[in-house]
Chain A
Amino acid sequence: MAASDQEFSTVIGPDARFKGELTFESAAKVLGTIDGSITAKGKVYVANGSKCKATVTAKEVSVEGHIEGNVEASDRIELMANGRITGDVVAAKMHMAEGASINGFCRIGANAGNNSDHSSSRASQTAEPKPSIETRPSPSPVMAGKK
C-alpha cells in the first residue's frame, strides 16, 4: 500500500532526527529517525528506511521500516514485507505480509486493547517489580480496650 503524502498532515523527512515525545492530532508519516515516543489520534506510517526507537500509540499503525519498541494500535496494524517490529504488539486487527518480522509478545484480537496486563509478556518479565506495600494489622478492639 503506497501511502500518499496528502493523506498525512505531518511528514518527518528522511534527514530529520527527533529525540523526545511526538504527539500528532491526525496522521503522520515518518521517514527519519525518532527516539522517544509517538502518539497520534490518526494513522502513523513508518516508511521504508526509517528507524523508530520509540513507543508508538495510534489508531492505525503501518510499518514498512523498523520500530524498536512497543506498538499499540486501537484499530489496526499493518506490517509490510520490509516491516520490522522489535517489541510487544497490541492491536484489534493485524495484517502481516510474508517477509515481515516480529520479535515480541503479540496480542491481536478484539479484546486485546481492553486487557492491559502484560503478565505473560517477556518485556514485562524483565521490568522491575513494583515495591510491595506492607500493611500493619490494626489493633484488635479487645487489645485496645485493655490498654
Chain B
Amino acid sequence: MRCYLCGHVSEVSHKALSSTCPKCHKAIKIEDLVVKNYLPVNDVQTCGTITITKKGRIAAKRIQAGDGVVCDGAVEGKIETAGPIQMGSHSSWKGSELFGSSLKVDEGATLHGYVAVPCVVAPSSLVETKPLVRHVDPAIVEDHDDATSEIDEEIETPIEEQTPVAEEIRSKPAERQLPAPKIISTRRAAVERAAAAGTTTRSAAPLPTPKPKPTVTRKPAATSEPKPTPPRAAASASKKTASASKAATSTPSKAKTEPVAPKVISTRKSATARKEEKPVAKATKSRAAAKKSKSDIKKPSKARKSSG
C-alpha cells in the first residue's frame, strides 16, 4: 500500500479498511470507494480503487486513488492515480488534469481537460520515496576507502609524469598554438581587395568617404543676420531697441561698457530697494505726525496749568 499523503510504501492486511502511515503518522483510507449517487466533496482520497456507477456523480477538487479509477458516471475534478483509469461509454469527466498510468476510453465517453497518460511527472503525493542507503555493508565501505585512497595518490602525482603526451606538447609549443583568427568579410576589406585586383563588384562598391564632422563656430552677435520675426515680436524688439538707444544716448559711457542683461537685474534690485524704502519712510512720517499731535494735546494742558 502506498500512502497518498507522503508516498511511503508499507504493508497492510487485505482486510484492512483504514490504517496509519508509519512515516507521516496520518490516517489513510485503504478501502475501495463506490459512488452510487451525487457526492459533492472537497477531496476524495483512498489507496484503493474509486468506482463511479452510472448514476454516480462526484464533484470534487481532487480525486486521488492509489489503485485506479473506474468511471461510468460523471466526474468533475482533478484525477490523480497511480493505477489505470477506465472511462465507460456513459461516463463524462471535466476537470483541470487527469494523471494515470493508463487510460481506457470507451466510445461515447466525454472528456474535457488536460490528459497526461501515462503521466511523465507523477503527482507529488504518489511518488514513492525510497531511502538513499538502506543497508550498509562494511565490506563495501572498506572497498570504497581503498578506492578513494588510490584516487588521492593519483591526484598527488603530477600530470606530466602520468602522461608521456605532456613531453611532446612541451617540445613543440609552436605547433599547438592556434592561428590568429582572421576577419574574413568586412565591406572595407572587400573594397580593398577589389581595388587591389582592379575589379569592381556590387558588394565591393566604393565606400563613400567619411564626411568630416562640421565644426560648430559661433559667430559674433553683430555679424549675424537678424532672423525674420513675427509682427508682435518685431514690435517688441523695436521697442527694446528704442529704449536701448535712449539709454545709450543718456549714458553713453555705461551703455558701451555694460551689457543689457545686468541692467535688468539692477532695475529689479532698485525696485526691491524701493519697496523696502517706502515702508520705512511711511513709518517715519507717521511717527512725526504722532509726535506733533501729542505736542498739540499737551500744550493746552500746560496752558491751563499756567493759567490755573
Contacts and interface: CB of A to CB of B under 8 A. Distances in A.
B is bound to A = yes
A120 B78 CA distance: 14
A106 B112 contact: yes
B103 to A, nearest CB: 6
A97 interface: yes
B114 A95 contact: no
A93 B107 CA distance: 6
SS class of chain B's interface: helix, strand, loop or mixed?
Answer: strand
Contact of B116 (A89, A93, A103): A103
Contact of A109 (B102, B103, B112): B112
B103 A102 contact: yes
A105 B115 contact: yes
Given A98-B84, A98-B102, A99-B102, A105 B113 contact: yes
A120 B109 CA distance: 20
Contacts of B102: 98-100
Contacts of A107: 111-112
A97 B109 contact: no
Contacts of A103: 115-117, 120
Contacts of B84: 98
Nearest to A78: B107
A94 interface: yes
Interface in B105-152: 105-118, 120
Interface string A99-124: 11111111111101000000011100
B184 to A, nearest CB: 32
Contacts of B291: none
A98 to B, nearest CB: 4
Interface residues of B, number: 21
Interface in A82-98: 89, 93-98
B115 A109 contact: no
B115 A94 contact: no
A108 B114 CA distance: 11
B105 A108 contact: yes
B110 A105 contact: no
Contacts of A94: 105, 107, 109, 111
A99 B305 CA distance: 136
Nearest to B84: A98
Nearest to B110: A109
A106 B93 CA distance: 10
B104 interface: yes
B112 A102 contact: no
Interface in B8-53: none
B240 to A, nearest CB: 37
A67 B108 CA distance: 23
B45 to A, nearest CB: 24
B111 A109 contact: yes
A96 B104 contact: yes
8 contacts: A94-B105, A95-B105, A96-B103, A98-B102, A102-B115, A103-B117, A106-B111, A108-B111
Interface of B: 84, 92, 96, 102-118, 120
Interface of A: 76, 89, 93-110, 112, 120-122
